[in-house]
């Protein structure tokens, strides 16, 4: 279950201690916490997790049992990506463990990423599990990764450890076990106090093609 707390004026959203898959209830809770953080004047957002997964992404069990609602569900997931991508405060994802599929997409929707150096994988497994990327998901990845890294990560299903992810700029930094969240906070704390209207407008302009693709099904 996602929980929200604060470090100074940085909202810290813990996605939970399980696989943190994107069930409809999970999406509701995350969006409610984002609403709260913005309403309470947070000057930054950090997302992390308390287990061995940052997030394993789509709730495939729910999707399999509700195939008739697939478009609605994907729309909700992509709306979260678009929201985080353009959130009007600085954002960072602290990855203490695995980030797979849509979980990895949520991570790259943030401004910055810190990953545990010695354990955990960042991976887009879609090519191996026979789930093509939607146009919105592809646009998000291509907006945040270099062309070379986008091709390698999207077409091979490669699992990147922390150091390998840093080498190709999937993440901005790595940290030892127990220090990932602290390292991400250090990135955000000096950035507090930006005008939210200006920052939100800048992000919406920077990522306009990705936002359009994510919000159009």
Dihedral through CA 195, CA 198, CA 202, CA 204, nearest 10?
100
What is the spatial distance between Cα 106 and Cα 80, in angstroms, rounded to a whole number? 8
Domains held by the chain: number: 1
pTM: 0.97
* pLDDT confidence tier of residue 217, bands split at 50, 70 and 90: confident
84-108: per-residue pLDDT in tens? 999 999 999 999 999 999 999 999 9
What backbone torsions phi and psi does residue 58 show, to the nearest 5 degrees?
Answer: -60, 145
Which of 143, 141, 138, 97 minimizes the C-alpha distance to 117?
97
Which residues 6+ apart lie within 8 Å of 177 measured at CB? 96, 116, 118, 119
Domain enclosing residue 77, as ranges: 3-216
9-49: per-residue pLDDT in tens? 999 999 999 999 999 999 999 999 999 999 999 999 999 99
CATH code for position 77 = 3.90.226.10
């Amino acid at each position: 279950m996602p929980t929200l707390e604060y470090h100074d004026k940085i909202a810290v959203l813990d996605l939970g201690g399980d696989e943190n898959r994107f069930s409809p209830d999970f999406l509701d809770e995350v969006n409610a916490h984002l609403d709260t953080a913005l309403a309470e004047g947070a000057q930054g957002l950090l997302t992390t997790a308390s287990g061995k997964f940052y997030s394993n992404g789509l709730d495939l069990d729910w999707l399999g049992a509700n195939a008739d609602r697939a478009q609605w569900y994907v729309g909700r997931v992509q709306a979260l990506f678009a929201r985080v991508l353009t959130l009007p405060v600085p954002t960072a994802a602290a990855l203490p463990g695995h980030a797979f599929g849509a979980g990895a997409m949520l991570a790259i929707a943030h401004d910055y990423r810190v990953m545990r150096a010695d354990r955990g994988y960042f991976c887009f497994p879609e090519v191996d599990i026979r789930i093509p990327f939607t146009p919105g998901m592809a646009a998000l990845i291509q907006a945040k990764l270099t062309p070379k890294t986008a091709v390698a990560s999207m077409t091979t299903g490669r699992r990147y450890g922390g150091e390998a992810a840093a080498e190709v700029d999937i993440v901005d930094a790595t940290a030892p076990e127990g220090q990932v969240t602290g390292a991400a906070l250090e990135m955000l704390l000096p950035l507090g106090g930006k005008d939210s209207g200006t920052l939100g407008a800048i992000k919406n302009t920077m990522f306009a093609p990705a936002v359009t693709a994510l919000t159009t099904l």
